Structure 1
C-alpha cells in the first residue's frame, strides 16, 4: 500500500463528481424507501411491493447494452446530467401527486420504471466518467473514494428516507428532489480531459462489442464474474429482518444497527484505501478479502449475540469494499478509454443481476432450510467459488501483482 501522491480530491472535477454521487445515490435510496412505503400504504399488497423492485430491474436488463453504446459515443458528463434532470422531473411529479392525492399504484410503478431506466443509462456513463477526469495512476484512489461515496449514501439515504416518510411521502420526495438538483448542478460543472468518442457504425457487431471484449480478456471476465457469483451466494444482508426479529430478537432498533454495520465497515476501510491504496499483490489481496467476506458471513450466520453479529457485518462490509475497489480498478485500468462505457455497462449488468438474484437466492434458501443454514451455506459457497476462480478457472487473478494485465 502506498501513502504517497496528492489526493485525488485535489482534482476539482472529481471532487464535484464524488459529492454528486453522494447526493444522487442518497436521493435514489430515499426514493426506494418512499415509493415502497407509499405502494404498500395504497395497496396493502406484498406482491405490489415486489413489483416496484421488478419495475426498476427490468429496464436495467433491457437497456444496459444500449446504455454502454451511448456512453462511448456521446459526452458522458452530458449523459449523467440529462439523466438526473429527467429523474428530477419524475420526482417533481411524485411530489405533486402526493400533495394533491392523485398518485396510484400504476403511477408509482411507472415512476419506478422510468427512474430505473434513467439509472441504467446514468450508471455506466458515471463509472466511465472517472477515467475521463483523473490520471491513470490515480484510479485506485479514485475507486476507493467512489466506494466511500456509495457507502455513505447507503447509510444516509435509507435512514433519512425512513425518517422523512413519518411526515409523509411528499417530504421524502421533496428531499430526494433537492438532492438530485444539487447533484445535477455539480455534474454540470465537471470537466473531462481524457474522453475518446467512439464513432463506429451501430450494428450487431458493435452492439455486442462490450460483451466480446469482456469475454476475450480473462482478467476482466474473471473479475466481474467473481463479483456476480460471490455476491449471489453471500447475500446475508437480505435476511437481516429475519435475524433481527426471530434470531437476535432485537426488533426494529436492532435491524437498524444491523443494516448500518456493513456500510460502516465499508466506509472505514474505503477511507483507509484513499490514503493507502493497494498497488502490489493485487490478486492475493483480492482473494484474502473474499476469504474474510466468506468467513464473516458464516460467523454472522451462527451468531446469536447482537455485538458479535454487528462485528461480523462490519467485517463483511470492510472486506467487500476491498474487493470492490480492486475489481473496479482492474476493470477500468484494463479497458481502453473508448470502451469504458460498454464494459462498465456489462459490469453494471453483472452487479445488478447478482444483487437482485442474490436476494432471491437468499430468501428462497432461507424458506427451504431456514435463515441460519442458508447464511452459512452462502458463506461456504462464496469460499468455494473464490477458490475455484482463483485456482482453476482464472488463476491469472491470483497471480496478478499490479493492476495492468496482459491482453488475453
Structure 2
C-alpha cells in the first residue's frame, strides 16, 4: 500500500461510523443544534456577569443548570434502560427548544431578571439529566458493529468541539453587535435540526422488556454493578474529578476575559474558541485510532496536560499566551473524557448500559455544579487566578492513583471480555490501555 492509499484509508477509518444512516442523521442534526447550545451558554454567562458583576452568581447559574444531573442521574438511567430511548430524546429536545424560546422572549423584551435565569437554568438541567444519559446509551442503537462504537464516540466529541469552536466565536460577535437575545433565538431554532434527524431515523421496533424489579431495585443493581467493579469505578472517578476540579474554568472565563485580559465579549469568544480547537484536535486524534491500544498512558498524560494548562492560564495576562494555554487544556480535557467514555461503553453490559452511562453523566454533569459553586465562592476571597491554579493542580494530582493501579485493573478486565465476547482487537487494546508497566515487546 502506497503512502497516499494508506492516508486515504486512515481518513476513511476516521469517519467510519458515518457509514450508518441513523448515526449520520444524528451527527449532522446534533452538530447544528450544538452550535446553538454553545452560543446560548456563552451569551448566558455574559448576560449574568453584565447584570450582576458577581462571580458567585456565575457559579450559581451553572449550579442550577447541572445539579439536576447529580440528583436525577440514576433515575434517568433506569428510565433509559426501561423505555424507548428514541422517543425520550425527541421529548427532551422539544422541551429544550421551549426553554430557549422563553429565554429569548424575556431577553428581547428586556424583562429578564436573574431569578428568571436561575429558574430556566434549573429547568434545562432537569431536561439534560434525562437527555444526556439516554443519548449516551442510544449510541449503541445507531451503530451496528461494536468495533465502531469507539469511533462514534470520538466523532461525537469532535462534533461537540467543532460546535464549541464555532458557537462561542459567533456568539461573541453577535453579543457585541446586537446583544445576547439573538444567540438565544438561534439556539431555539437550531433544535429543529436535531428533532428532524431523530424523526427521520429508521430503527428496529422497540421491544419493551417486562421488568420484574422495582425502580429502587434497578437503581441498587446499577450502583452495585458500576461501583463493585474496579475498572468502571476508576473511570467514573476520573470523570468526577475532572468535572469537579476542571470544569469550573469555563465559569470563570468571563472574569478572565474582562478583568484580567481587559477585553470584551469577543475576547471571551476567542478563549472558548481556542479551547474548542484544542478539544477538536483531541477528538480527531481519538477518531483516527483503530483500536484503543495505549489509551491508559494517553489518559494519564492528557489529564496532567489539562491540569498544567489551567495552572499556566491562571497566571497569564497576555492574550496570545492565554489562547495557547486554552488550546492545550482543551486537548487534554476532551481526550481524557472521551477515552473514559469509550472504555465504559466497551466493557459495560447492554442491559445495564443506561444506568452505567447515567452514572458517567452524573459524574460529568453532576459534579461540575459543585465545582462551579466552590470555585465561585473561593474566587471571591482569594481571586480567580489562585482559584484556577488550585483547580489545575488538583486535576493533576487526581490521576495519580489511577496510574499506579493500572496493572491491577488490567487483570480484572480480562474475564469480562471473555464473557461479553468482545472482538479480540478491542479486548487486547483495552488490556494494553490499562497498564503502564507492560514491556514494549508485549504491546
TM range (shorter): 0.7 to 0.9
| Offset of residue 193 of structure 1 | 5.5
2:358 maps to what in 1?
345
Alpha-carbon RMSD: 3.3
Deviation at 1:203, TM superposition (A): 3.4
Q: Which moved more, 1:255-264 or 1:32-41?
A: 32-41
Give the equivalent residue in structure 2 for 1:26.
35
1:223 aligned residue: 235
Distance in 2 between the 1:88 and 1:192 partners? 24
Q: How far apart, in 2, do the equivalents of 1:277 and 1:292 lie?
A: 23
Aligned to 1:377: 390
Following the alignment from structure 2 to structure 1, what is the Cα–Cα distance between the partners of residues 356 and 264?
Answer: 42
2:192 corresponds to which residue? 181
Measure, in 2, the Cα distance between the counterparts of 1:375 and 1:87.
Answer: 31
Question: Is the CA contact 1:283–1:398 (under 8 Å) kept in the aligned structure 2?
Answer: no
Structure 1 residue 148, shift from structure 2 partner: 0.9
- In the superposition, relative to structure 1, how do residues 242 and 93 fare at CA in structure 2: closer, same or farther (>3 Å)? closer
Partner of 1:124: 133
Partner of 1:387: 400
- Checking the alignment, whether the CA contact within 8 Å between 2:63 and 2:368 is kept in structure 1 is no
Q: Deviations over 1:215-263 (max 9, x none)?
A: 0111111011112113423344443344444544555544432222111
Match of 2:161 in 1: 151
Is 1:327 the counterpart of 2:354? The answer is no
Give the Cα–Cα distance (whole angstroms) in 1 for the partners of residues 103 and 264 of structure 2.
Answer: 31
* TM-score normalised over the length of structure 2: 0.79
Counting only pairs closer than 5 Å after superposition, residues 68-87 of structure 1 correspond to structure 2 as 68-87=77-96
Kept in 2, the 8 Å contact 1:16–1:190? The answer is yes
Contact 1:280 1:402 in 2 (8 A): yes
Question: Structure 1 residues 186 and 50 mapped into 2: Cα distance closer, same or farther (>3 Å)?
Answer: same
Q: How far apart are residue 168 of structure 1 and its match?
A: 5.3
1:79 is displaced (CA, Å) by 0.8
* C-alpha distance after superposition, 1:144-166 (max 9, x if no partner): 10001111222333444444455
Task: Determine which of 14, 39, 46 is the counterpart of 2:23.
Answer: 14
1:402 aligns with 2:424: no
Name whichever of 262-271 and 196-205 sits farther off.
Answer: 196-205
1:209 aligns with 2:221: yes
Matched residue SS, 2:429: coil
Partners of 1:140 and 1:327 in 2: how far apart? 11
Assess if the C-alpha contact under 8 Å between 1:133 and 1:194 holds in 2. no
- Does the residue aligned with 1:263 lie in a helix, a strand or coil? helix
Which residue of the partner structure matches residue 150 of structure 2? 140
8 A Cα contact 2:305 2:328, kept in partner? yes
Which region of structure 1 is more displaced relative to structure 2, 389-398 or 299-308?
389-398
In 1, are the aligned partners of 2:166 and 2:273 still within 8 Å (CA)? no
Which of 212, 226, 239 is equivalent to 2:252?
239
Q: 1:171 to 1:241 in 2, by over 3 A?
A: closer
Range with bigger deviation, 159-168 or 15-24: 159-168
Give the TM-score of the pair, scaled to structure 1: 0.85
Match 2:278 to one of 258, 265, 286: 265
What is the aligned counterpart of 2:328 among 299, 312, 315? 315
Shift of the 397–251 alpha-carbon distance from structure 1 to 2, 3 Å rule, reads farther
Partners of 2:311 and 2:99 in 1: CA distance: 41
> Taking structure 1 as reference, are residues 50 and 357 closer, same or farther at Cα in structure 2, changes over 3 Å only?
closer
Q: Per-residue deviation at 1:333?
A: 0.8
The 2-side partners of 1:38 and 1:305 are apart by 25
- Cα offset, 1:270, TM superposition: 1.3
Distance 1:244 1:103 in 2: 23
Indicate how the Cα distance of structure 1 residues 382 and 76 shifts in structure 2: closer, same or farther if over 3 A, else same: same
Distance in 2 between the 1:161 and 1:90 partners? Answer: 18
Q: Report whether the alignment pairs 1:167 with 2:178.
A: yes
Instruction: Give, in whole Å, the separation in 2 of the partners of 1:174 and 1:404.
Output: 47
Pairwise CA distance, 1:204 = 1.6
Distance 1:63-1:353 versus aligned 2 partners, 3 A rule = closer
Q: Give, in whole Å, the separation in 1 of the partners of 2:411 and 2:265.
A: 41
Residues 287 and 398 of structure 1 are in contact (CA less than 8 Å); yes or no, is this contact kept in structure 2?
A: no
- The equivalent residue for 1:286 is 299
Asked whether the 8 Å contact 2:59–2:369 carries over to 1, the reply is no
Aligned length: 403
Distance 1:305 1:162, change over 3 A: closer
Change (3 A) 1:338 1:263: same
Q: Tell me, yes or no, if structure 1 residue 66 matches structure 2 residue 66.
A: no
Offset at 1:78? Answer: 1.3
Structure 2 alignment gaps of length 5 or more:
1-8, 414-427, 433-443
